[in-house]
Structure 1
Amino acid sequence: ATSACADCKRIVASAVDTFGRIDVLVNNAGTTKFVQHTDMDGLDANDFAKICGVNIVGAFQMVRACRPFLKAASARGGKPAVVNVSSVAGTNGIGSSLAYVASKGGLNSMTIALAKCLGPEGIRVNAVCPGFIEGEWLKKGLGEAVYNGAKAHLESTTPLRAVQTPESVAFTIHFFIEAPNLTGETLILDSGMRLTVA
């Protein structure tokens, strides 16, 4: 994960060298620090800078670096798309840390602003906001006992009795890539978890 402008430009240049064009950007880089929200001493300014640097600034830098190539794709008659992988943390205030929540809320707002900015150039910008995604990354961050307990709870209380999988997130990203007239949306992907919170 990176937020450095030079790194982002290098990544984009490598993609263009390899494929000759860019039609889609998926901003999937992200980072966090697992800290209880009540533990305000567990985060400092450096933590906020690192997390927001990757989760917001990094996404912006990638969009900026890809913009001319996405604009060229539109000029060729294509429907270029940016999909930001965000989180329900940015919509419900529940997440791995206060800094993570803030970063994903910022990414959601930036998604809307970018959709307004880039829409006239034919570039669509949307965000997918997954809830609990099963996998080793979350298990390592939460610890196995907390991870298993949270997963079991969600699989028994959400309307769809499910958590997210990497495949369900990928399906939603693909939906945004293919939907030609959809922009500025932040789609919550949580099996209805938000419907169970009073």
Structure 2
Amino acid sequence: MSKSGLCAIVTGSASGLGAATAGFWAKEGARIVVNYSNSQKEAEATAEACRKAGAAEVVVVRGDVSRDEDCRKIVAAAARWGRLDVLVNNAGITKHVPHHDLDGLSAEDFQRIYAVNTIGPYQMIRAARSLLEAAAKMSGRPAAVVNVSSVAAISGASSSVAYSASKGALNAMTLPLARALAPSIRVNTICPDYIDTPWFTKARGETSARQVRDAVVARVPLKIVSTAEDVAQLVCFLASPASSNMTGECVRIDAGMHLIL
């Protein structure tokens, strides 16, 4: 469905899923806030790609979603539009620690991961609430929040215990927020499995990333690996009027990995 006139914030959109999501909406003439915390060069490249694709306006804002003042700064960049149709809470971090290595994660590690992956989305929703409600009033349909979680929230298999726990908390938070913010704002969450993005390659190295990619393809029932563009289509669906009767859902996208016994 046409998203012309759409106003959106995508956190963590310098690359990967966030960049792919912004790119989809750019083709429809959307106004987009591209957010990053460290990767300014990549964020500027994403913004330029969005402009070339046809975005009506693109604003690049640096901000760490674990900091409430930064969340308010990111949202303030969209205030010029007087509305916010979509907020995508995509920013996330992890620390790679084998689950059996209980000494590999400190309290500080847990606090930092929770601060970005769980508290960050809450703070972004709180900061954006008035603009989301304004969009709902203007359009006559609910605005949309899409949280990016992980199958790790369900399976517990992930880069670290802290990461799984933070995403599980994000899933749990989806329900009370969906209740509290209806009928003006819908809140849904996606739970992707492995996504073939540069983020994973940077974390694990090219050789290890290729091994994981090949193993995923060999194992999952659909014999495919998800790209950022694949998952971005689900984000865009949950943000669009096509899903206007959905809220409080956690939608898994894993090429059938959960079907394996």
TM-score (norm 1): 0.94
Provide the rounded CA distance (Å) in 1 between the counterparts of 2:207 and 2:176: 39
Shift of 1:142: 2.4
Moved more, 58-67 or 154-163: 154-163
Q: Which residue does the alignment assign to 1:193?
A: 257
Moved more, 44-53 or 152-161: 152-161
- 1:88 maps onto 2:151 in alignment: yes
Q: Which residue does the alignment assign to 2:245?
A: 181
- 1:50 maps onto 2:119 in alignment: no
Q: Which runs of 5+ in 2 are unaligned?
A: 1-63
Q: Which runs of 5+ in 1 are unaligned?
A: none
Aligned-pair identity in percent equals 48
Provide the rounded CA distance (Å) in 2 between the counterparts of 1:133 and 1:153: 13
Q: Which residue does the alignment assign to 1:109?
A: 172
- 1:15 maps onto 2:105 in alignment: no
- Which secondary structure does the structure 1 equivalent of 2:182 belong to? helix
Moved more, 147-156 or 57-66: 147-156
TM-score (norm 2): 0.72
Higher RCO by CA contacts (8 Å cutoff, separation 6 or greater):
1
Provide the rounded CA distance (Å) in 2 between the counterparts of 1:119 and 1:20: 20
Q: Which amino acid aligns with 2:205?
A: G
Provide the rounded CA distance (Å) in 2 between the counterparts of 1:2 and 1:69: 18
- Which secondary structure does the structure 2 equivalent of 1:139 belong to? helix
Provide the rounded CA distance (Å) in 2 between the counterparts of 1:146 and 1:91: 24
Provide the rounded CA distance (Å) in 1 between the counterparts of 2:130 and 2:89: 17
Q: Which residue does the alignment assign to 2:188?
A: 126
Q: Which amino acid aligns with 1:79?
A: P
Provide the rounded CA distance (Å) in 1 between the counterparts of 2:79 and 2:245: 26
Does the Cα contact within 8 Å between 2:65 and 2:121 map onto a contact in 1? Answer: no
Q: Which residue does the alignment assign to 1:163?
A: 225
- 1:25 maps onto 2:59 in alignment: no
Provide the rounded CA distance (Å) in 2 between the counterparts of 1:94 and 1:39: 14
Provide the rounded CA distance (Å) in 2 between the counterparts of 1:104 and 1:66: 21
Q: Which residue does the alignment assign to 2:199?
A: 137
Larger proportion of strand? 2
Moved more, 142-151 or 37-46: 142-151
Does the Cα contact within 8 Å between 1:83 and 1:126 map onto a contact in 2? Answer: yes
Q: Which amino acid aligns with 2:168?
A: G
Q: 1:151 aligns with which of 213, 233, 247?
A: 213
Q: Which amino acid aligns with 1:46?
A: E
Q: Which residue does the alignment assign to 1:67?
A: 129
Does the Cα contact within 8 Å between 1:83 and 1:125 map onto a contact in 2? Answer: yes
Q: Which amino acid aligns with 2:251?
A: L
Provide the rounded CA distance (Å) in 2 between the counterparts of 1:73 and 1:67: 10
Provide the rounded CA distance (Å) in 1 between the counterparts of 2:226 and 2:179: 29
Provide the rounded CA distance (Å) in 2 between the counterparts of 1:60 and 1:138: 25
Number of aligned residue pairs: 195
Shift of 1:126: 0.3
Does the Cα contact within 8 Å between 1:131 and 1:163 map onto a contact in 2? Answer: no
Q: Which amino acid aligns with 2:147?
A: N
Shift of 1:112: 1.4
Shift of 1:20: 3.1
Provide the rounded CA distance (Å) in 1 between the counterparts of 2:91 and 2:181: 21
The root-mean-square deviation of aligned C-alpha atoms, in Å, is 1.1
